[in-house]
Amino acid sequence: MKPEVWTIIVAAGSGERFGGLKQFSQLGGTRVLDHSLRTARAVSSGVVVVVPVEFATRDEGNAVDTSEPDRVVVTVAGGTTRSASVRAGLAAVPPAAEVILVHDAARPLASEALFTRVVAAVSAGADAVTPVLPLTDTIRRVGDGVIDRTALLAVQTPQGFRAPALREAHRPGAEATDDVSLVEADGGTVKTVTGERSNIKITDRADLMMAEAWLSAL
């Protein structure tokens, strides 16, 4: 039996390092946010898009085409931190959801296959699942020389959760840069799946150029 899957896309950041709202920047003829919205809709019963509060009541935030009315898309206002934004999204996910995915709008190129892989790993028996990739750069710890790169993994989204595990970990005030670490700190079981090289996070302008390059190569 397929679980009921809902996806929260967090798009409520201010894009300080980018110098603007990167989630609404143009990428391949549409907005950055629209790429992951399309992918999330394909694999989810419903999607909650978390946008900056000033966009929550405007068309920009609600940029959803209504051609697939069976797929619910809800727009809610985010918080001052990423974790607060996830919680705002979580409040709009219905109790029927069994698997909840949390995805950064800043990662527009995550594939449908990756979303599916994360859901499958949760269904196979984990509280939390994250895509990871090995690092390729040699890494130095400040003041402490080169560290063993084979012990390190770069974490991506979408991350997937058994719904109760995510809801429990997200008690008010809980803060982390990702959600798997919150569930892990709560004693939850974590599994990893292989991420994607093309699933880059847009942090600054150079990343947007990289994403354009990936798009024309994919």
Q: How far is the CB of 150 from ligand CTP (least distance, A)?
A: 26
Residue 107, Ramachandran bin (φ over 0: left; ψ between -120 and 50: alpha; else beta): beta
- Confirm or reject binding of residue 85 to ligand CTP (CB under 6 A): yes
Pairing of strands 139-141, 30-31: unpaired
Contact 7, 158 (CB under 8 A): yes
Whole-number Å distance between alpha carbons of 20 and 28: 18
User: Considering only 12-20, 47-55, 60-68, 106-114, which stretch makes contact with Mg ion by CB under 5 A?
Assistant: 12-20
Coil vs helix vs strand at 75:
strand
Place of tokens 């190569």: 217
Among 34, 98, 104, 179, binds ligand CTP (CB under 6 A): 104
In the window 121-180, what residues touch ligand CTP (CB under 6 A)?
A: none
- Confirm or reject binding of residue 3 to ligand CTP (CB under 6 A): no
Instruction: Give ∠ CA 85-89-94 in degrees, rounded to 5.
Output: 160
- Contacts with ligand CTP, 36-75, as mask; x by CB under 6 A: --------------x-------------------------
When the beta carbons of 11 and 208 are compared against ligand CTP, the nearer one is 11
Strand partners of residue 7: 47, 101
Measured in Å, how far apart are the chain's first and last C-alpha atoms? 32
Whole-number Å distance between alpha carbons of 115 and 52: 24
When the beta carbons of 16 and 59 are compared against Mg ion, the nearer one is 16
- Confirm or reject binding of residue 82 to ligand CTP (CB under 6 A): yes
User: Considering only 7-15, 51-59, 68-76, 155-163, which stretch makes contact with Mg ion by CB under 5 A?
Assistant: 7-15
When the beta carbons of 98 and 166 are compared against ligand CTP, the nearer one is 166
Binding site for ligand CTP (CB under 6 A): 10-18, 23, 50, 78-82, 85, 104-106, 201, 203
